[in-house]
Amino acid sequence: MLKFKHSLAALAAVSALLVGGAAIAAGGGTPQKGKSLGEEGYQWHAGGGEEDEALHLKPDLANGKEVYEVCSACHQMEGWGLTDGTFPQLAGQHPKVVIKQLADIRALNRDNPTMYPFALPSQIGGPQAIADVAAYMAVKLKMNPEPGVGDGKDLAHGKKLYEENCTRCHGADGAGDNDKFYPRIQGQHYEYLLRQYQWIKEGKRRNANPDMMKQIQSFTDRDTKAVLDYTSRLKPPANLVAPKGWKNPDFQ
């Protein structure tokens, strides 16, 4: 059973981990908004603050498990989120991507007002906690073997669009790049991808990569659905995927 304080925090924690990055406020818990998309001086990945601190710390997986308890009520014990896209899959995500997104939320460079109060140092700890939980997700959580997908009616079109537009950053198989902070999008729930994609296109994901935002402006509704349906079906390496019915042994 979850600890009581963790349960309360988790019930309100709504997380989203895809493309992002911006100037990070100095560590310590006082948020500072960075430059938004379209503003002069905006940098997609400026680094600094808690992000840089967490990146240089040795992760403690035991503490990562404790921190993950806060996340598990929404993202599930296995880190699979929900196939309807309400919550994304976090299992198997690159640790640098997780670190960046948590640091951005805490610094108010990525808007997530529901999650923000529960992601603060007073709730989960400082940069060490960010490093710990990011490593725990990457190392201990196996990915959902049956992620949410689209209707499968336009996959050839989606494949063409993916190969022409997405491989440079996310790779041919959707694996992303830990060192470049590009997220793993293979096996991510279709409905979640659809929502975040739309927010990026509309400028609501303030820490999104501006190159991606520009690139997708010309995509039609058909293009969007097709490419994201195809993306959701990209297969992660077998060693990252859990068997059907897998339960996280840390919470049994």
Q: Is residue 247 part of a domain?
A: no
Is there a domain that residue 104 lies in? yes
* Percent of residues, the chain, with pLDDT higher than 70: 82
State whether 84 and 176 are in the same domain. no
In SS3 terms, the chain reads as: CCCHHHHHHHHHCCCCCCCCCCECCCCCCCCCCCCCCCCCCCCCCCECHHHHHHHCCCCCHHHHHHHHHHHHHHHCCCCCCCCCCCCCCCCCCCHHHHHHHHHHHHCCCCCCCCCHHHHCHHHHCCHHHHHHHHHHHHHHCCECCCCCCCCCCCHHHHHHHHHHHCHHHHCCCCCCECCCCECCCCCCCHHHHHHHHHHHHHCCCCCCCHHHHHHCCCCCHHHHHHHHHHHHCCCCCHHHECCCCCCCHHHC
Q: Whole-model pTM?
A: 0.84
What average pLDDT score do residues 119-137 get? 95
Residue 40 has pLDDT above 90, yes or no: no
- Kindly state the average pLDDT of the residues 90-116: 90
Same domain (yes/no): 105, 23: yes
Do 89 and 192 fall into the same domain? no
In a domain? residue 251:
no
Q: Of 143, 175, 190, at which residue does a domain stop?
A: 143
Residues 90 and 207 in one domain: no
User: What's the structural domain count of the chain?
Assistant: 2
Lowest mean pLDDT, pick from 3-17, 29-43, 89-103, 185-199:
3-17
pLDDT higher than 80, residue 8: no
State residue 12's pLDDT score. Answer: 40
* Least confident stretch, 25-29, 74-78, 207-211: 25-29
15: in domain:
yes
Residue numbers of the domain that contains 185: 155-240
- Last residue in a domain, options 143, 169, 185: 143
- Residue 37: predicted pLDDT: 55
Based on the fold, state whether residues 97 and 133 are members of the same structural domain: yes
Give the per-residue pLDDT at 111. Answer: 85
Query: Is 112 within a domain?
Result: yes
Q: Are residues 112 and 223 in the same domain?
A: no
Residue 18 sits in a domain whose CATH number is 1.10.760.10
Model pLDDT, residue 41: 55
